Amino acid sequence: MKFRKERQKTFEWRGKPIFVKHRTEAEIKREQAVEVSQLRDPQKDEDRVQRPEWSILIGVCTHLGCIPISNMGEFGGYFCPCHGSHYDASGRIRKGPAPLNMAIPDYEFVNDNTIVVGKP
């Protein structure tokens, strides 16, 4: 699937939503500037992506398994309406009851516009 810039698409993989987002330069800079020591589940943005412009996440809140809404919340990423967890555009928990960052599936880029999720 080809994406337009600033676009997100949700796919289903093994019964779970996969959020694939093409991030803007501003989002990339914002997420890379986050002070990791201030995060509940500390991870650098660079450790959560293979290519800075692409964020690929399992779209499940780590609190009780609800599905967050994209492009919402106080940190410009995802908001879980069930209990109020806020994630940034890298899928890192920033506020609310979720204990961990959103999970990242195993994936690989086949070319510039195609990824394969999961291991063969």
Which is the catalytic residue, given 22, 63, 83, 86? Answer: 83
Main-chain phi, psi angles of 101, to 5 degrees: -65, 160
83 an active-site residue?
yes
DSSP string, 11-45: EEETTEEEEEEE--HHHHHHHHTS-GGGSSS---G
**107-111 and 8-13 beta bridge pairing:** unpaired
User: Which residues are catalytically annotated?
Assistant: 83
